[in-house]
Structure 1
Amino acid sequence: MSLIELMVAVTIALVMSLAIFSTLSSSEGRKRTLTATNDVAQVGIFSAYQLDKLLRSAGSGFSQGADFTFGCQLTATRTAPGQILPFTAAMAAPFTAMNTSLGGSYRLAPVIIVKDATTPNISGKGSDALIIMSGSAGFGEVPTLFTATGALTQLNLQNTVSFQANDLVLLTDTASATGPAPCMIEQVTSSFLTGGTATALPLAGSTYSGDPINGITLAAYSTVAMATNLGSGTVSNPPSFVIVGVGDNNNLMTYDLLQMGTFNTSEAMADGIFEMHALYGVDTTGNGTVDIWVDPKTAGYDAVTLQSGTTASVSTLRSIKAIRVGLILRTQLPEKATTPSVTPGPLALFSDLGATLKYTRTLATAEQNFRYRTIETTIPLRNVLLLN
């Protein structure tokens, strides 16, 4: 072969190699984009399922038979580290600022939305948090009346049929005329044998027992106080008193208010969640259906007011029949900067509810190099639907 022929062959080979590598690079880029998009979609489905499961169970164990407990301040203690409700320490991220704004006080309610409770480092914008509470007793959800004042080691009830060993007991006094009295969470002793005609319920469980707690004592409860089974105080079938919100690195985080796991620790539920926002579905006519949707920043529906324990706030809690949750999800890695950008935005949630309730997220230039998905779901609070 002559030198010219060899150079022509090399040139052709180089051109073909460039074309092949360009095709492979483009194909690999599309593959990464498709994989990242699919991952985000799956995370969205999983997150929506987890939130649906939590919210559909909200209010279980106390809504139907003991809605008079709505708005009572929860007091609880553990053998270690001591008092956990009201929570007096600095709560773990991402709920530190939220806990401070509420003064560490949490009142019994199926769901409370805390507007802009967290500020995730990736988004840099406010993201809502959900305080969700539900019992798990199942068969023991009817409150039992006291027959005499209680003591640290024993409750005197009309019957103890609905309680088992290690169960958590919610105590509330119906004699209060100034709104719901503080509630105590106590635990049945591990040696208690259910059944029979016993009316004495032995306390001093291995984990949740204390008297007094935050100045509240068992001896102060009247003979018209009530005891409600919340479920097991062990890991087998515990009640769910949790906070859910978006933390750093696009992680959807949960926090256990009953501190059944590692003390004062938030745990990741899912990743890829950029922001979370929510609305209340409110029944204004008492017929059990949602008439209006309300932003949680609205006066009377803000978390501080709903946590005030007033008669008006309790009435508002009873009127909330559904929660609408909107999630903004984002891929983990950016894509090559293009013109136009991959996601120019803006992103929108609740667009069908009008300009007042619509949430619009404008994307900065750097944020436009990521791909996003939005998911919205309306979840009925089935345990509250029948309350008038």
Structure 2
Amino acid sequence: MKIQLHYRKREQGLSLVELLVTVVIVLLMSLAISGVLSTSEGKKRTMTSVNDIDQAGNYAMYQLEKTVRAAGSGISDNFQQVFGCQIFSALNGTQILPFTPAMGAPFTALNTALAGVYRVAPLIIAKDLTTPNVSGKKSDVLITMTGTAGFGEVPTPFTTVAGPGQLNLINSIAFNGNDLVLILDQAVTNGSPCMIQQVTAGYAGAINVTAVPLSGVYTSSPIGTTSLANYSGNAFAMNLGNATANMPNFQLIGVGNNNVLFQYDLLQGATFNTANAIADGVFEMHALYFVDTNADGIPDTFIDPGTAGFDFVTLESGTAASVATLKSIKAIRLGLITRTSLSEKPTVPPATTGPLTLFSDLGAPFTYTRTLSTAEKNFRYRTIELTIPLRNSLLLN
């Protein structure tokens, strides 16, 4: 009988206390493993986010450097008289410059400030003209213009006034079908109108051919307050690029909502009145001019783009003084602040304490300081700076 009772006791297995202890141990182990996995995943997410903004920032700066270095190409090398002329252009019979409707985000404020008027210039910085929703602070806009014809900097003089749908030039060797042509009088005052027209598709210019026919989506006359008939026999034509194969780059670049860097095509080669995203992760963008003050072709002084005479409204005025100032700008100092897209878990200390600074090596007058709010400190940031020469403006005096 005793043996039988002993056998039954062994069949009972673990007691309730033993089970509870086992469950507690398993739970503690699960919590420990979950904590390790959570920490590991958090670190992995942080590293991925930081790598993402590093790559996004480098890509954005690459795109900006490429654009800025080329600014002025094809419109400034040998004929600077074109600087400051007011651009008139139409697309499919609709005037696109001056752009009088409300321009799409994030360039609405800039277009309003300029009343839609844009003038030929390699590069202009419009200080504090976008307010991205994520940052909530002001960022700068770049206005850049680049011809892409390859020999567009050599103007071709008129022989007689333009006829209906036709230019009469001393030769047409610089022009082919679908080329975009900038037309401007030689005997003009600063800021005079210049008109963009398009060469007829299939046309092939030659040294002994003087008539250049005009037709295509960019051909229109009159455009606003100017027409081909306004240009005298002393006008000239300059090749800007090709409407179908190699569009000139007349564009605005600035930071918009959701940390996106946008580009807007002033010639509307893409979707009408729509900015195109070119990079993400960009929190703010700021820039300074690097200016040649003694006309030796070497930049020697940084100038804030809000300084009187260097503000974008003055540089877009087309006056002789503004043209001289444009010629003195040889480079810019560009600074980007990038930010991760995912917030870190609230920690002590925060992910980024701040403040963030740009241009600190240039001293107090030029240093930009960005103080972060408590919520903003839960993100991680990077700053990128670069001095970029306007290679086509270095020898302009």
**Which residue number corresponds to residue 23 of structure 1?**
36
Q: 2:105 aligns with which of 74, 93, 115?
A: 93
Q: 1:185 aligns with which of 191, 196, 199?
A: 196
Aligned 8 A contact 1:343 1:371 in 2? yes
CA distance in structure 2 between the partners assigned to 1:52 and 1:246 by the alignment: 16
CA distance in structure 2 between the partners assigned to 1:5 and 1:49 by the alignment: 65
CA distance in structure 2 between the partners assigned to 1:164 and 1:323 by the alignment: 35
Q: How many angstroms does 1:151 deviate by?
A: 2.8
Structure 2 counterpart SS, 1:185: strand
Alignment of 1:151 onto 2:163: yes
Alignment of 1:362 onto 2:371: yes
Deviation per CA, 1:9-65: give whole Å up to 9, x if none. 333222222111111100000000000000000000100000011111111111102
Deviation per CA, 1:168-218: give whole Å up to 9, x if none. 001111212x32421100111113122241011111x21111112221122
Question: Greater CA deviation, 205-214 or 308-317?
Answer: 205-214
CA distance in structure 1 between the partners assigned to 2:171 and 2:205 by the alignment: 10
Alignment of 1:287 onto 2:292: no
Question: Structure 1 regions of 5+ residues with no counterpart?
Answer: none
Q: 1:119 aligns with which of 131, 141, 146?
A: 131
Alignment of 1:249 onto 2:270: no
CA distance in structure 2 between the partners assigned to 1:222 and 1:66 by the alignment: 18
What TM-score, normalized by structure 2, do the two folds share?
A: 0.94
Question: Structure 2 regions of 5+ residues with no counterpart?
Answer: 1-12
Aligned 8 A contact 2:281 2:341 in 1? yes
CA distance in structure 2 between the partners assigned to 1:14 and 1:93 by the alignment: 53
Structure 2 counterpart SS, 1:170: strand
The letter of the residue matching 2:340 is T
The letter of the residue matching 1:314 is V
**Which residue number corresponds to residue 8 of structure 2?**
none
The letter of the residue matching 2:205 is T
Q: 2:314 aligns with which of 305, 317, 324?
A: 305
Q: 1:334 aligns with which of 337, 343, 352?
A: 343
Deviation per CA, 1:337-375: give whole Å up to 9, x if none. 112211111100000111011101111111111111111
Alignment of 1:53 onto 2:63: no
The letter of the residue matching 1:326 is G
Deviation per CA, 1:278-332: give whole Å up to 9, x if none. 1111011111111111111000000000000100000000000111111111111
Structure 1 counterpart SS, 2:144: strand
Structure 2 counterpart SS, 1:183: strand
The letter of the residue matching 1:64 is D
Q: How many angstroms does 1:220 deviate by?
A: 2.0
Q: 2:231 aligns with which of 212, 221, 241?
A: 221
The letter of the residue matching 2:231 is Y
Aligned 8 A contact 1:152 1:210 in 2? no
**Which residue number corresponds to residue 195 of structure 1?**
206
Structure (1 or 2) with the larger CA radius of gyration: 2
**Which residue number corresponds to residue 209 of structure 1?**
219
Structure 1 counterpart SS, 2:160: strand
Aligned alpha-carbon RMSD (Å): 1.2
Q: Provide the identity percentage.
A: 59
Structure 1 counterpart SS, 2:393: coil
**Which residue number corresponds to residue 34 of structure 1?**
47
Q: How many angstroms does 1:140 deviate by?
A: 4.1
What TM-score, normalized by structure 1, do the two folds share?
A: 0.96
CA distance in structure 2 between the partners assigned to 1:229 and 1:342 by the alignment: 52
Q: How many angstroms does 1:149 deviate by?
A: 1.1
**Which residue number corresponds to residue 175 of structure 2?**
163
Q: 2:353 aligns with which of 330, 336, 344?
A: 344
Alignment of 1:66 onto 2:79: yes
CA distance in structure 1 between the partners assigned to 2:48 and 2:300 by the alignment: 41
Aligned 8 A contact 1:345 1:363 in 2? yes
